Amino acid sequence: MRLLFIGDIVGRAGRAAVVEHLPRLRDMWKLDFVVVNVENAAGGFGITESIADEVLQAGADCMTLGNHAWDQKEALVFIERQPRLLRPVNFPPGTPGRGANVFEARNGANVLVMNVMGRIFMDPLDDPFAAVERELSACPIGVGCDAAVIDIHAETTSEKYAMGHFVDGRATLVVGTHTHAPTADHHVLQHGTGYLSDAGMTGDFDSVIGMDKDEPLRRFTRKISGGRFEPANGPATLCGVAVDVNDATGLAKQIAPVRIGGRLSKAMPDFW
């Protein structure tokens, strides 16, 4: 199975990059399954139903969220009727939506996708490790699904690495989101789980983590707010990670970064 994960879409520039590149990548790489993090897609904060539909039409099979899940209040409503949009699984019981779901890939495989939020320097949600254990135990690779993808939306690399080792051999991919800076530590862990600390953002890197530079600089240098943060709207880089999956085991054979367009150096998998 050929799997692509795309990092946090930020604003209109990030959405344009996905609409431009994803249909071509699906055809060129013959992708079986695509996950996109969309928690910053609507003006940098949250997701709307129309934007979710746009991302799905571009070729996403599933979308994940994070700490900005409810910034657009309509998400509290439409997430209930959109099974392909996942919020963090460790939100308290009774939170709208779902944090994990099984989807059918284009090759017929069943893929478990899970969105979980870290707790270090983040909102203190329920234990992410216990939540992930619960979902993996209920739907293990080889029994309930053919592959499993975990988007850990977290601030620290230590928490992300701990999650990777916690599920090593039981998940296809553990990929970090939230910090918007792509990391260079992509590798397959000892027992076969693909790992990357942060997929990076899909947005304009002539910015402060996707936001127009003026307001963040004003707040850092003068400690005065001059208004709300606005996404930068220059040419965006699509950032993510590609995984070549062993169909017999559901684990990762190879993993490679993806960077296309914008200001960052280009990176493409060489195994497809």
Residues 6+ apart with CB under 8 A from 10: 40, 41, 44, 180, 201, 202, 203, 204, 209, 210, 211, 231, 232, 236
What pLDDT, on a 0 to 100 scale, did the predictor assign at position 228?
86
End-to-end distance of the chain based on CA atoms, in angstroms? 11
Amino acid letter for position 105:
A
When divided into structural domains, the chain yields a total of 1
- CATH number for the domain spanning 131: value is 3.60.21.10
- Residue 217 belongs to some domain of the structure: yes
What pLDDT, on a 0 to 100 scale, did the predictor assign at position 226?
83
- Residue 30 belongs to some domain of the structure: yes
Which of 68, 153, 178, 180 is flagged as catalytic? 68
- Residue 272 belongs to some domain of the structure: no
68 catalytic, yes or no? Answer: yes
* DSSP at 234: S
What pLDDT, on a 0 to 100 scale, did the predictor assign at position 227?
86
Percent of the chain residues past pLDDT 90, beyond the cut: 96
Q: What is the pLDDT along the chain (272 residues), one digit of tens a residue?
A: 999 999 999 999 999 999 999 999 999 999 999 999 999 999 999 999 999 999 999 999 999 999 999 999 999 999 999 999 999 999 999 999 999 999 999 999 999 999 999 999 998 899 999 999 999 999 999 999 999 999 999 999 999 999 999 999 999 999 999 999 999 999 999 999 999 999 999 999 999 999 899 999 999 999 888 888 999 999 999 999 999 999 999 999 999 999 999 999 999 999 99
Q: Among candidates 34, 19, 14, which has minimal Cα distance to 202?
A: 14
- Residue 77 belongs to some domain of the structure: yes
What is the CB neighbour count within 10 angstroms for residue 158?
12
Report pLDDT digits (tens) over 1-37: 999 999 999 999 999 999 999 999 999 999 999 999 9
Q: Please list the helix, strand and coil fractions of the chain in percent, rounded to the nearest 5, in that order.
A: 25, 25, 50
- Residue 270 belongs to some domain of the structure: no
- Residue 185 belongs to some domain of the structure: yes
Q: Which two tokens stand for residue 72?
A: 């657009």
Domain that holds residue 160: 2-260
- Residue 266 belongs to some domain of the structure: no
- Residue 143 belongs to some domain of the structure: yes
Report pLDDT digits (tens) over 73-93: 999 999 999 999 999 999 999
